[in-house]
A and B are shown apart, each in its own frame.
Chain A
Amino acid sequence: MMDTPTKTPALVEMVGISKAYPGCLANDSIDISLSAGRVHALLGENGAGKSTLVKILYGLLAQDSGSIHWQGKPVDISSPAVARELGIAMVFQHFSLFESLSVLENIALGMDADADSDLRNKIITVSTRYGLPLDPDRSVFTLSVGERQRIEIVRCLLQNPKVLIMDEPTSVLTPLEVNELFATLSRLAEEGMAILYISHKLEEIRKLCHDATILRGGRKVATADPREETAQGLAALMMGSDIPKAVLREQSKTGKTLFSLSQLNYPALDQNGISLQGINLSISAGEIVGIAGVAGNGQDELMQVIAGEVLAHLDDAISLHDSAIGRQGAGERRKRGLCCVPEERLGHAAVPTLSLTENVFLTAHHRKALRIAGLVSYRRSRKFANEIIQRFNVQCNGPASLAGSLSGGNLQKFIVGREILQAPNVLVVSQPTWGVDAGAARAIHDALRTLADEGAAVLLVSQDLDELMQISDRIGALCAGRLSNFHQTSRVTVQQVGLLMGGESIDRQALNADSGADA
Chain B
Amino acid sequence: MNEILILTILTIITAATPLVYAAIGELVVERAGVLNLGVEGMMLAGAVCSFATAHHTGSGMAAIVAGMLAGMLMALLFAFLTLSLQSSQVATGLALTIFGVGLSALIGQSLVGIAFEGLPSLNIPMLSNLPVVGQLLFSHDILVYGSFVLVAAVAWFLNRTRAGLVLRSVGDSHDAAHALGLKVIRVRYCATLFGGACAGIGGSYLSLVYTPMWGENMSAGRGWIALALVVFAVWQPGRLLLGAYLFGGISILQLHAQALGINVPSQLMSMLPYVTTILVLVLISRNRGRIRRNAPASIGQPFHPTT
Q: Assess whether B289 is in contact with A271, with CB atoms less than 8 Å apart.
A: yes
Which residues of chain B are near A84, meaning CB under 8 Å? 181
Q: Assess whether B179 is in contact with A100, with CB atoms less than 8 Å apart.
A: no
Contact partner of A101 (CB less than 8 A), chosen from B172, B179, B289, is B172
Contact partner of B179 (CB less than 8 A), chosen from A60, A99, A115, A270, is A60
* A182 interface contact, C-beta 8 A: no
The interface residues of chain A, by DSSP majority, are classed as loop
Q: Annotate B291-304 by CB proximity to A: 1 below 8 A, 0 otherwise.
A: 01111110000000
B266 CB to nearest A CB, Å: 43
* A11 interface contact, C-beta 8 A: no
Q: Assess whether B179 is in contact with A96, with CB atoms less than 8 Å apart.
A: yes
- Assembly CA distance A109 to B177 (angstroms): 9
B285 CB to nearest A CB, Å: 15
Q: Assuming A80-B180, A109-B180, A115-B165, is B289 touching A98 (CB within 8 A)?
A: no
What is the chain A residue whose CB lies nearest that of B168? A101
Q: Annotate B162-191 by CB proximity to A: 1 below 8 A, 0 otherwise.
A: 100110110011011101111000000000
A88 CB to nearest B CB, Å: 12
* B288 interface contact, C-beta 8 A: yes
Q: Number of contact residues on A: which range applies?
A: 20 to 34
Q: Which of B13-48 contact A (CB under 8 A)?
A: none
A176 CB to nearest B CB, Å: 30
- Assembly CA distance A271 to B295 (angstroms): 18
Q: Assess whether B162 is in contact with A80, with CB atoms less than 8 Å apart.
A: no
Q: Assess whether B289 is in contact with A270, with CB atoms less than 8 Å apart.
A: yes
Q: Could you count the A-B residue pairs with CB atoms below 8 Å apart for me: how many are there?
A: 62
Q: Assess whether B297 is in contact with A100, with CB atoms less than 8 Å apart.
A: yes
Q: Assess whether A80 is in contact with B181, with CB atoms less than 8 Å apart.
A: yes
Contact partner of B292 (CB less than 8 A), chosen from A79, A80, A109, A141, is A141
The interface residues of chain B, by DSSP majority, are classed as helix
Q: Assuming A99-B172, A100-B292, A100-B295, is B165 touching A109 (CB within 8 A)?
A: yes
* A42 interface contact, C-beta 8 A: no
Q: Assuming A79-B181, A98-B176, A270-B288, is B293 touching A108 (CB within 8 A)?
A: no
What is the chain B residue whose CB lies nearest that of A92? B179
Q: Assess whether A109 is in contact with B289, with CB atoms less than 8 Å apart.
A: no
Which residues of chain B are near A82, meaning CB under 8 Å? 181
Q: Annotate A291-308 by CB proximity to B: 1 below 8 A, 0 otherwise.
A: 000000000000000000
Q: Assess whether A97 is in contact with B297, with CB atoms less than 8 Å apart.
A: no
A135 CB to nearest B CB, Å: 15
Which residues of chain B are near A271, meaning CB under 8 Å? 289
Q: Assess whether A139 is in contact with B180, with CB atoms less than 8 Å apart.
A: no
B292 CB to nearest A CB, Å: 5
Q: Assess whether A96 is in contact with B180, with CB atoms less than 8 Å apart.
A: yes
Which residues of chain A are near B180, meaning CB under 8 Å? 80-81, 96, 109-110
Q: Assess whether B175 is in contact with A100, with CB atoms less than 8 Å apart.
A: no
Q: Assess whether A98 is in contact with B292, with CB atoms less than 8 Å apart.
A: no
* A105 interface contact, C-beta 8 A: yes
- Assembly CA distance A265 to B175 (angstroms): 38
* A114 interface contact, C-beta 8 A: yes
Which residues of chain B are near A99, meaning CB under 8 Å? 172-173, 292, 297
- Assembly CA distance A101 to B176 (angstroms): 12
Which residues of chain B are near A105, meaning CB under 8 Å? 165, 168-169
Which residues of chain B are near A101, meaning CB under 8 Å? 165, 168-169, 172
Which residues of chain A are near B181, meaning CB under 8 Å? 59, 79-82, 84
Q: Annotate A160-180 by CB proximity to B: 1 below 8 A, 0 otherwise.
A: 000000000000000000000
Which residues of chain A are near B296, meaning CB under 8 Å? 100
Which residues of chain B are near A81, meaning CB under 8 Å? 180-181
Q: Assess whether B176 is in contact with A139, with CB atoms less than 8 Å apart.
A: no
Q: Annotate A74-98 by CB proximity to B: 1 below 8 A, 0 otherwise.
A: 0000011110100000001000111
Q: Assess whether B162 is in contact with A114, with CB atoms less than 8 Å apart.
A: yes
Which residues of chain B are near A59, meaning CB under 8 Å? 181
Q: Which of B173-230 contact A (CB under 8 A)?
A: 173, 175-177, 179-182
- Assembly CA distance A114 to B162 (angstroms): 6
Q: Assess whether B292 is in contact with A139, with CB atoms less than 8 Å apart.
A: yes
Q: Annotate A346-360 by CB proximity to B: 1 below 8 A, 0 otherwise.
A: 000000000000000
Contact partner of A100 (CB less than 8 A), chosen from B162, B182, B293, is B293
- Assembly CA distance A96 to B179 (angstroms): 7
A354 CB to nearest B CB, Å: 16
B83 CB to nearest A CB, Å: 18
Q: Annotate B79-103 by CB proximity to A: 1 below 8 A, 0 otherwise.
A: 0000000000000000000000000
- Assembly CA distance A223 to B180 (angstroms): 31
Q: Which of B262-293 contact A (CB under 8 A)?
A: 288-289, 292-293
What is the chain B residue whose CB lies nearest that of A83? B181
Leading 10 A-B pairs by shortest Cβ distance: A81-B181, A96-B176, A96-B179, A80-B181, A98-B172, A100-B172, A98-B169, A79-B181, A141-B292, A109-B169
Q: A92-B179, A96-B179, A139-B292 are in contact. List 12 more A-B contacts (CB 8 A).
A: A84-B181, A97-B173, A98-B172, A98-B176, A99-B172, A99-B297, A100-B168, A105-B165, A105-B169, A139-B293, A141-B293, A270-B289
Q: List 26 A-B contacts (CB under 8 A).
A: A79-B181, A80-B179, A81-B181, A96-B175, A96-B176, A96-B180, A97-B173, A97-B176, A98-B168, A98-B172, A98-B173, A98-B176, A99-B173, A99-B292, A99-B297, A100-B294, A100-B297, A101-B169, A105-B169, A108-B162, A108-B165, A109-B177, A109-B182, A110-B180, A115-B165, A270-B289
Interface residues of A (CB under 8 A from B): 59-60, 79-82, 84, 92, 96-101, 105, 108-110, 114-115, 139, 141, 270-271
Interface residues of B (CB under 8 A from A): 162, 165-166, 168-169, 172-173, 175-177, 179-182, 288-289, 292-297
